[in-house]
Amino acid sequence: MEQEIKAIASTDQRYRDQLYALLQVTRAINNNTPEKELFSVYEYILTRQCGFTRLAFCSRTDMWKWPVCIDAEASIDAIRPERDLADIHDVTILNGSHLACLQPFDIVIPVEHKGKALSYLLIGNLDRTTLLTERKIDLEFVQTISNVIAVAIENKRLFRENVQQEMLRRELDMAREVQSLFIPSSLPLDEHFDFAAVYRPVRQIGGDYYDFIRLNDDEVLFCMGDVSGKGLPAALLMANFQAYLRARVATTSDLRAIITDMNDRVAQSAKGEKFITFFLAKYTISERKLEYINAGHNPPVMLCGNEITVLDKGTTGLGMLEKLFRLECGELTIGPGAMIVCYTDGLVEQENEGGVDFGIEQLEQLLRQNTGLSSSAFNEMLIRYLASYKGNQPFIDDIALLTCRFF
């Protein structure tokens, strides 16, 4: 009887110790204790209170790590949780049928949340004959506290992700505002020409660009560019490109000199990792003369009368080569009523539900069929037509349009 009373007292004391330990962990979590300190509390409970002499606890953030390890440093180097522990979903007593790398351990306690493995606790140096008897209370407690610790660490990870996503969202908002400063807020409509543009990035910001620059009373520049890639890196490179172009145009209007300098700039900035396709044109009002260089960009289409002209003379994309070995400048006389449509590849490469590109032929056909529209009306019609053409397919790339009708 006396031995039974002592056993009951011992069990009661063990329960009280476990409840106190659980309270300690809960308080630490509520106080937003750093992960390192949480693991220290966890390790203390497992070793000092539960008496385990060999254990290893792995937790997954971006990758699997072993923040708690006692007498198992050499063993964990060979364990790959995603490979060796993925099939273990319940508390498992290890035996000879398991992998050699798990032999130093007697039991595995997994922690899962919504079918996803968060952590694994491996314990060794146990008396296997008592695992399901005397040690059962300890193992149930360890499973509980391991779940609490693992879920707390996962919540911390999710919180960090949310903070990072919010910071990224704010950075993207700022980048979009900065990018909008470089894109003209208004384009000219006067007795000489009618310019209009549309810009539709797939993401919040993109790498497409257009611009209109009045050099003097008789000359204007207009251009369109597209950075390889999407998102923030492309937008940052294009913002740098835009600023440098504006600065360079203030010193010269020679298209060859501008393109050569811009190629050097992109090559230095992108270091071969990205390039920019670019179309640059200068229009002299008094002579009705258009000079242009197409640096690897989708060729703008010009309709004058019944004739379609593709503006494709130029050179390679900027930044593809350190030096431009071939540089050709196109020159045209612009007749009254002529219309030029500049665009990025997001327009002509957009696929329909059958996987067929929109293509330049449809653009030319629409241009012929809508010669009476203003530049703005033509752009609106073209975007509506493209949306209908793609059907349920998503837009695959940024789309920019710059259309001009000459009077």
- Asked whether 292 and 311 are in contact (CB, 8 A), the reply is yes
Spatial contact of 352 and 377, defined as CB atoms under 8 Å apart: no
Query: How far apart are alpha carbons 135 and 333 in whole angstroms?
Result: 93
Q: Residue 112 corresponds to which tokens in the numbers above?
A: 């899962």
The DSSP bridge pattern shows strands 314-315 and 289-295 to be: parallel
For the domain covering 2-161, report its CATH number: 3.30.450.40
pLDDT of residue 179: 64
What confidence tens digit (pLDDT) does each residue in 137-156 have? 778 888 888 988 888 888 88
pLDDT in tens, 59-100: 987 789 999 999 999 889 999 999 999 999 999 988 866 788
Q: What is the residue extent of each domain of the chain? A: 2-161, 183-406
* Euclidean distance between CA atoms 327 and 320, whole angstroms: 14
Q: What's the pLDDT band for 2 if we cut at 50, 70, 90?
A: very low
pLDDT tens digits along 7-26: 444 455 766 777 777 777 77
At residue 28, the pLDDT reads 74
Rounded Cα gap, residues 220 and 286, in angstroms: 11
Q: Any alpha helices (H) in 124-135, and if so which ranges?
A: none
Q: What is the model's pLDDT at position 270?
A: 76
pLDDT of residue 204: 65
What is the DSSP annotation of 223-252?
Answer: EEEEESS-HHHHHHHHHHHHHHHHHHHTT-
Between residues 296 and 147, which one has the greater pLDDT?
Answer: 296
- More confident of the two residues 366 and 235: 366
Q: What is the pLDDT of residue 327?
A: 95
The mean pLDDT value of the chain amounts to 87
CA atoms within a 13 Å half-sphere pointing along the CA-CB vector of 148: 20
- Say whether pLDDT at 1 is over 60: no
Predicted local confidence at residue 7, as pLDDT: 42
pLDDT of residue 3: 44
- Compute the average pLDDT of residues 127-139: 73
Residues facing 276 on adjacent strands: 227, 318
86-97 as b/e: b if 16+ CB within 10 A: eebeeebebeee
pLDDT at 195: 98
| End-to-end alpha carbon distance in the chain | 111
Beta bridge partners of 329: none
Is 329 a residue whose pLDDT tops 90? yes
Q: According to the model, what pLDDT value does residue 5 have?
A: 36
How far, in Å, CA of 73 to CA of 225, rounded? 56
Topology of 183-406 in CATH? Phosphatase 2c; domain 1 (3.60.40)
Least confident of 1-10, 204-213, 270-279, 362-371: 1-10
Bridge partners for 272 per DSSP: none
pLDDT at 278 over 90: yes
220 burial via Cβ count (<10 Å: 0-12, 13-18, 19+): buried
In this predicted structure, what is the pLDDT of residue 175?
Answer: 65
* Higher pLDDT, residue 311 or 268: 311
How far apart CA 311 and CA 301 sit, in angstroms, is 6
> Which tokens go with 372?
């009476």
Q: How many CB atoms lie within 10 A of CB 355?
A: 7
CA 121 from chain centre, in angstroms, equals: 34
Which residue's entry shows tokens 């020409």? 193
Sheet of 193-200: strand order equals 193-200, 399-406, 339-343, 301-304, 307-310
Tell me what pLDDT residue 61 has. 73
Assess whether pLDDT exceeds 70 at residue 282: yes
Residue 15 has what DSSP assignment? H
